[in-house]
Structure 1
Amino acid sequence: MSHPASDLLGPRERVVAGLMSGTSMDGIDAAVVRLSGSGRDVQIQTLGFACTSYSDDLRQRLAAQVEAGTSDVRGLALLHAALAESFAAVVHDALDDAGLASGDLDLVGSHGQTVQHVPEPVSIDGRPIQATLQIGDPARLAVRLGVPVIADFRSADVARGGQGAPLAPYLDDCVFAHETETRGLLNLGGIANITILPAGEGPEAARAFDTGPANMLADALTLRLTGQPYDRDGALAASGTPDLALVRELLETLVFRQEPPKSTGREAFGADYVGMLVTRGPSEPKDMIATAVALTALSIADAVDRFVPHHLDRVLASGGGVHNRALMQMLEDALPCPVETTEASGVDPDAKEAILFALLAHEWANGVRTGLPAVTGASGPAMQGALYLP
């Protein structure tokens, strides 16, 4: 009798749902994608897409679980299960958008919701320990959808001594590498990360790292200072005046000056950092939010200047931050090359990260190691992801 996973394996065309929920904790994205081929020969056709904001209940529970002072193991376990139910619902929404049913899916790739990311070693029992934890029970998700799920994409790289992040460079190289242009692929989610693809080079030449916060600081400050969940279109930031002296001072701190490979998250830019900004920054809400947006834009430009040895011909941006007009204008002013969204290259900037996890699941089934040691610092390329059967 054949193993129930045997039909999944080997190179072939697949319909895969990719799921992403980012550091900003604003909601869930799902893309249904038809995939064939592998690496730079991969063919990607997006069939459907859906995004759903977290309910106030889920957002509040997540906010408690990502902060060490308020996290509790019972609440974490319950949230692990509850998020899987929400993930399944968004996949169904994306299937509806595609005119498909769950029976049409071959596979699901789920990133999960990061609640802790500890890429720098901490001594435990005399051993240096790195860790990363994403929740949203993939076993429950597989049962709810009746479809195999690939999840836990970061742990194998961390086990090899890597940062486990960023993961986007695999898709970036497959889709956006160019013979004559050196490109920067900029993701503006909760955290900002950039992939550098030198012109005419192979995937081994790609480099990527987290540059610092993207939406998470501005979102947290907007909620704290105005009661709104985010600054729609960056209107408040555009009307404010940033404290550039504070921004320049912050850019000299270790979290920004540390050389790649590096990754970061809510542990560095969570509630304590927001509190520091409120204490030290402008008293007017629009000026404080403008300061947070300036920190994002100038930290990206500073990272390119410090750590990228190539002249960039073009930056292609994706993620929720592309809708923040103030942020995009600051990036255009600060970066030494044109800035546009991935829409110009045929990839929906809102769907790109969800497409990434569909691709990583597809490549797992193809038997491809998608870990990039030159990006993460791992000792070798990791087989990223683990299988959960319904």
Structure 2
Amino acid sequence: MLRKLLNQTSLTIAGIMSGTSLDGIDVAIVRIDGRGLDTSIKLIHFESFAYEADVREKLKLLCTIEHSDVAQVCGMNFAIAERFADAVIQTAAAANLSMADIDLVSSHGQTIWHIPIADDANPFLPKSTLQIGDLSVIAKRTGKPVVGDFRTADIAVGGQGAPLVPYGDYLLFRDENKGRILQNIGGIGNCTAIPAASSGGIAFDTGPGNMIMDQVVYELSEGRLSYDANGEWAAKGRVHQELLEDLLAHPYFQEPPPKTTGREIFGKAYAATWLASALERGLPQEDIVATATAFTAHSIARGYQDFIFPQSEIAEVIVSGGGAHNRTLLSMLGELLPNQTIFTSDELGISCDAKEAMLFALLGNAFIQGETNNVPAATGAERQTIMGKLALP
């Protein structure tokens, strides 16, 4: 099986993405031909599977020091892997494919904790990262080889283990004539800047994407809503400028790239503290949601203005991820970035919902082809390396 897989230059791969938004599992089945800069990808079918409310809340607790323990991490590592495997099997069935038609599964995993900067005061807290969703469980349940756990290899060569999408962003979206920024807005926002006719660029996490917005909506609606559909709630409110500036004063936004972040900084506890402050000010709920939305928009725009625009001419910002559906957020970005054209990856034929799962399929393909797939300029790694681990069925 492995020898046959390694000799193929055209593969059907199921890419799995489950991001920091904790909204669910995305599976993109794609056909990938070629290798390196000659790689091409075609989406065959995409499905998204929402986490059950209790699973989502358990994962939120798992991403905290105060409410997690080793037993929960151990158990959820297998429980989530079972869900990943089921999602792949269901997606194949929806595409009228049998599992025999799938050559490989490539999984990002569910990030539980991420330490991009070592704690110099504690030798047992080096740069490190933890994604759950055991690869062997997925392999045994699907009957297919599985590549995953990509981040650790980049950290092992001095990187921060993220962002990982610049590899695929460059393959799919580079342009000879226009500088572009690929902005994903999942739980965390991350961007890849690709100057015109460039073989390089810059990439980093811009800060919270949907994470704060979603948690605020969940709390204000008393659990009835998990996100602000189309940004309709935010559209009814007014941004509280003083509270917004307080948010933007967080030291993360002043740090130069390479930099990454996640729930360990901007998670449930951060959102709860911020929401309490907003309520103490007596703000209407719609103003709170509008300000949380503006926080994401302004943190993205400031990241560009501080770290990208001084060195690159950018014509287009191409948005993907769940935040691409938030019309209020996109409108705010448009106001903040009047010199750039802002649109979603759908307009270029790449589904804004499927894009990240597709990119992880590309990372898995690079692993199998023996191609380096990290981008040191994005992660801070000392050198290029092949990221990923392989589990056989």
TM-score, normalising length from structure 1?
0.96
Mapping of residues 91-130 of structure 1, within 5 Å:
91-123=88-120, 126=123, 129-130=126-127
Partners in 2 of 1:312 and 1:287 — Cα distance?
A: 32
Kept in 2: contact 1:11–1:37 (CA 8 A): no
1:12 maps to a residue whose letter is: T
Alpha-carbon separation, structure 2, partners of 1:16 and 1:274? 37
Alpha-carbon contact 2:9-2:35 (below 8 Å) kept: no
2:368 is matched with 365
2:335 corresponds to 1:333? yes
2:119 aligns to what SS in structure 1?
strand
In structure 2, distance between residues paired with 1:210 and 1:131: 17
Q: CA-to-partner distance for each residue in 1:103-124, whole Å, 9 max, x for gaps?
A: 1111000001000011011247
Deviation at 1:271, TM superposition (A): 2.0
Kindly indicate whether residue 225 of structure 2 is the aligned counterpart of residue 223 of structure 1: no
Aligned partner of 2:315: which letter? Answer: D
Going from structure 1 to structure 2, the CA distance change for 1:80 and 1:126 (only over 3 Å counts) comes to closer
Give the AA of the match of 1:253: H
Determine helix, strand or coil for the equivalent of 2:288. helix
Matches of 2:213 and 2:53 in 1, distance apart? 18
CA deviation map 1:73-99 (0-9, x unaligned): 111111110111111111122212321
Contact 2:111 2:131 in 1 (8 A): yes
Change in 2 beyond 3 A, CA 1:279/1:110 = same
Q: Report the more deviating stretch, 205-214 or 242-251.
A: 242-251
State how far apart, in whole Å, the 2-side matches of 1:208 and 1:112 are: 21
Q: In the TM superposition, what are the counterparts of 1:143-292 in structure 2 within 5 Å? A: 143-202=140-199, 205-226=200-221, 227=223, 228-281=225-278, 283-292=283-292
Match of 2:315 among 313, 316, 339: 313
Pairwise CA distance, 1:128: 6.5
**In 1: Cα distance, 2:341 partner to 2:382 partner:** 35
In structure 2, relative to structure 1, the CA distance for the partners of 1:124 and 1:85 (3 Å cut) is farther
1:68 paired with 2:31, answer no
Q: Runs (4+) of structure 1 moved beyond 6 Å?
A: none
Q: Are positions 1:382 and 2:385 aligned together?
A: yes
Deviation per CA, 1:21-67: give whole Å up to 9, x if none: 00010100000000011233111111111101001221122122111
Question: Offset of 1:152 from its aligned partner?
Answer: 0.2
Aligned counterpart for 1:28 among listed residues 25, 29, 42: 25
2:381 aligns to what SS in structure 1? coil
Aligned length: 385
User: Mean alpha-carbon deviation: is it higher for 316-325 or for 86-95?
Assistant: 86-95
CA contact (8 A) 2:114 2:262 kept: yes
Q: Which residue of 2 is the match for residue 323 of structure 1?
A: 325
Task: Render the CA deviation track for 1:147-190: whole Å, top value 9, x for unaligned.
Answer: 00001010000111111111111111001000010000000100
Confirm or deny: 8 A CA contact 1:84 1:140 kept in the other structure.
Answer: yes
SS in structure 1 of the partner of residue 371 of structure 2: coil
- Displacement after TM superposition at 1:10 (Å): 4.2
Check 1:277–1:371 CA distance in 2 against 1; reply closer, same or farther (3 A cut).
same
Q: How many Å separate the matches in 1 of 2:27 and 2:352?
A: 13
Contact kept in structure 2, 1:244 and 1:294, CA below 8 Å: no
Once residues 172 and 125 of structure 1 are traced to their aligned partners in structure 2, the CA distance between those partners, rounded to angstroms, is 36
Q: Distance in 2 between matches of 1:126 and 1:49?
A: 43
Taking only the aligned residue pairs, the percentage that are identical comes to 42
Distance 1:100 1:124, change over 3 A: farther
The partner residue of 1:345 within 345, 348, 367 is 348
**1:199 partner SS:** coil
**CA displacement 1:287-329 (0-9 Å, x = unmatched):** 1111111000011111100001212100100000011111111
CA distance in 2, matches of 1:65, 1:273: 15
Q: CA deviation at 1:272?
A: 2.3
Q: Please report the TM-score for the alignment, with normalisation by the length of structure 2.
A: 0.95
Please give the secondary structure, in 1, of the residue aligned with 2:374: coil
2: CA distance between counterparts of 1:341 and 1:361?
25
Contact 1:32–1:46 (CA under 8 A) maintained in structure 2: yes
2:15 to 18, 22, 27: 18
